[in-house]
Structure 1
Amino acid sequence: MSHRNARLTVHGRRLLVERVSSGRPVAHVAAEMGISRVTAHKWMRRWRAEGEQGLHDRSSRPRTTPHRTATAVEARVCRLRQDRKLGPARLGPVLGLPASTVHRILVRHGLNRLAFMDRPTGQLIRRYERDRPGELIHIDVKKLGRIPDGGGHKTLGRQAGRATRGQMGFDFVHSAVDDRSRLAYSEIHRDEKVATCAGFLTRAAAFFHAHGITRIERVLTDNAWAYRKGLAWKQALAEIGATGKLTRIYRPQTNGKVERFNRTLLDEWAYLRPFASNHERTEALTDFLHAYNYHRCHTALGGQPPITRVNNPAGQYT
């Protein structure tokens, strides 16, 4: 993802490179894209040195933080928080620290909300996560309107796109996410019928197996008919040796990891830019999944991509 205040997305930087590489002056391209010549030269320089990877943001985290609170003091803040359940305003005077500093320390260690902790023991319990890859796979389907050739309303404008909107039908994006590693697999289909769901599960299991998750123990889905009653779905579960689980009715949070993945899918693939056709959007899915699994930093994994958790199943990221 781009930094919050970045003028150009990665796609915009690619356009910058393409236009300058075609022979146009950097100053002219920078002006039409609304950035300074210094910024344009910076991205061109990074692209020449690193290629495609150079167009992605680098971490802005400082190499050293000399004024950060000492580790021993942070440990004492966390210990008092867990033992006495006090907030920053009361911990600050006890420790001789500003309440704002105590709050930052608690946020850093995930202790800023009492609801995140087990009251009797003070242990952090908010992060629900399975112990090993393959123990639980989350599956869900996201429905997307198909894009007519030439583009839809995002390309042509809302009025021009309105005429074709109801004639294209829908794509159904089937996705599977491993609970432990967040490794993800998606396919696009024209429906969410039992046979389609069963076939997707079989191919998803093969994908996870090829990436080191050799056994799937349980599969969690919502209460759609295909998952509750479908014989082909039950047969597919039996073939991969997994048990099917259903979420609580009207409680999509139970399947939260794949629901959150669906949001990322929309933000970073389906709605990333205006696509000129449905085929173009479909083709872009493969690149997104590769970037998500191998390169995109995941906040729940300490800034590491999902494949690192598969390669290091016992790894703990904070």
Structure 2
Amino acid sequence: MVLERGKGLWVRCGLRDLQPASRKPSLSHRNAPLTPTGRLRLARCVVEDGWPLRRAAERFQVSHTTAARWTDRYRRNGAAGMHDRSSRPHHSPRQTPAAIEQQVVRLRREHRIGPVRLAARCGIAASTTHRILTRQGLPALTATDRATGEPVRRYERAQPGDLLHIDVKKLGRIPDGGGHKVLGRADGRRNKTGTGYAYLHTALDDHSRLAYTEDLPDEKAATCAAFLRRATAWFADHGVSIERVLTDNAWAYTKNTWRDTCRDLGISPRWTRPWRPQTNGKVERFHRTLLDEWAYHQPYTSDAERQAAFPDWLDWYNYHRPHTGISGQTPASRVTNLSEQHT
């Protein structure tokens, strides 16, 4: 028995409960007519309930041939036949020979070069080289470690405070009246004499990406140690207790001043491998974001103007900006109750 209401907004599909059939095909949800669920409904109406093909096509707003295709697949394969199939042909007689594919893979692993240079060495098109690399499961060069050629292994500490990344970004100060972005190259060079540098010290939590940054006059051992004390207190105010701190091998972080400060705070110091800044990559990436979205985001007429804009930007980063490294969450949302305390 088939039940209808009005112009057929309700249809029966096999022995299933009645389900609404949308007038317009849409892929916005799993019950839309042209998804596997909708195809199954259409096929059951024809095969099990005896609907004519043209009536089913009209009811589900598809063509007669489309209705016939899904009905035939249902007869042959059942519900499993309602899913999309790969468009790749069963046979590819003109596919690149296996020997050339092996050469491309070998050169990629030995020399770590991209598709264009591989194509020149192997005598094939760059697009063909790219397809070979994709088929062999080799990642893009940007996703590999330059030293070993292996895919980058990403890690994340389980809890906030398990590891704190610390680094310093040296940034040229802006003279009063503006630099080259405001005045042009020639006048900007003449106006920058004696402006000096800002040393941006940043502490970033590995798990949450919550960041604390200060503009300090230098990167000496005493300055770095004092920054660590303030950063630890700031994170403590936000409910994060620091257990370990990771830095590079800069002079200030290898002195007894740094070690003694870590011991007094109950923090275990860690250092990256020499010449391996990727180990401290999270804070390095934060500094790149900081430059793109704050320091170089717009022309400033003075260093004071740029510094005045920084607190608002850091607040945006910590509490409102979706972070792609943590699935679009904000750093504050990964710290217990912190996001609820800030408006």
CA offset digits 1:118-164 (Å, max 9, x no partner): xxxxxx99431011110000000000011111111111111110113
Counterpart of 1:299 in structure 2: which amino acid?
Answer: T
Shift of 1:281: 1.0
Matched with 2:226 is 199
Aligned counterpart, 2:335: 310
Report the CA distance shift for 1:246/1:69 in structure 2 as closer, same or farther (over 3 A): farther
Give the match's secondary structure for 1:127. Answer: coil
Among residues 234, 240, 251, which one is paired with 1:225 in the alignment?
251
Q: Paired residue for 1:285?
A: 310
Which ranges in structure 1 are unaligned for 5 or more consecutive residues? Answer: 1-61, 72-94, 100-111, 117-123, 314-318
Between Structure 1 and Structure 2, whose CA radius of gyration is higher?
2
Count of residues in Structure 1 that have an aligned counterpart in Structure 2? 209
Instruction: State the AA in 2 paired with 1:279.
Output: A
For residues 144 and 70 of structure 1, the distance between their equivalents in structure 2, rounded to whole angstroms, comes to 55
2:170·2:199 contact (CA, 8 Å) conserved in 1? yes
Work out whether 1:129 is the aligned partner of 2:166. no
SS in 2 for 1:311: coil
2:61 aligns to what?
none
Q: Distance in 2 between matches of 1:165 and 1:125?
A: 40
Structure 2, unmatched stretches of 5+, are 1-25, 38-83, 89-135, 144-150, 339-343
Residue 138 (structure 1) aligns with? 165
Task: Answer yes or no: is the 8 Å Cα contact 2:27–2:35 preserved in 1.
Answer: no
1:260 aligns with: 285
Q: CA deviation at 1:227?
A: 0.2
User: Contact 2:175 / 2:302 at 8 angstroms: preserved in 1?
Assistant: yes
Q: How much has 1:236 moved relative to structure 2?
A: 1.8
Q: State how far apart, in whole Å, the 2-side matches of 1:129 and 1:69 are.
A: 37
Q: 1:126 to 1:247 in 2, by over 3 A?
A: closer
1:232-283 CA deviation, whole Å, 9 max, x = no partner?
Answer: 2222211221111111111100000000000001001101111111111111
Kindly provide the amino acid, as one letter, of the partner of residue 203 in structure 1: R
Look up the match of 2:112. none
1:245 paired to 2:270: yes
- Quick one: which amino acid aligns to residue 221 of structure 1? T
Moved over 2 A (4+): 62-71, 95-99, 112-116, 124-127
Q: 1:63–1:238: structure 2 CA closer, same or farther, 3 Å change rule?
A: farther
- Which residue pairs with 1:105 in the alignment? none
Shift of 1:165: 2.7
Contact 2:202–2:212 under 8 Å retained in 1: yes
Please identify which structure carries the higher helix content: 1
Note the C-alpha offset of 1:312: 7.0
Amino acid in structure 2 at the alignment position of 1:208? F
Identity %: 56
TM-score, L = length of structure 1: 0.60
Aligned match for 1:168, one of 188, 191, 195: 195
Query: Partner of 1:245: helix, strand, or coil?
Result: strand
From the superposition, tell whether residues 113 and 307 of structure 1 become closer, same or farther in structure 2 (CA, over 3 Å).
farther
In structure 1, what is the Cα distance between the partners aligned to 2:334 and 2:137? 27
Question: Which structure has more RCO (C-alpha within 8 Å, separation ≥ 6)?
Answer: 1
Alignment of 1:104-115 (within 5 A): none
Alpha-carbon distance change, 125 to 267 in structure 1, aligned in 2, over 3 angstroms: closer
* TM-score using structure 2 length: 0.56
Number of the residue aligned with 2:118: none
Q: Give the counterpart letter for 2:220 in structure 1.
A: K
Contact 2:203 2:213 in 1 (8 A): yes
- Structure 2 equivalent of residue 46 of structure 1: none
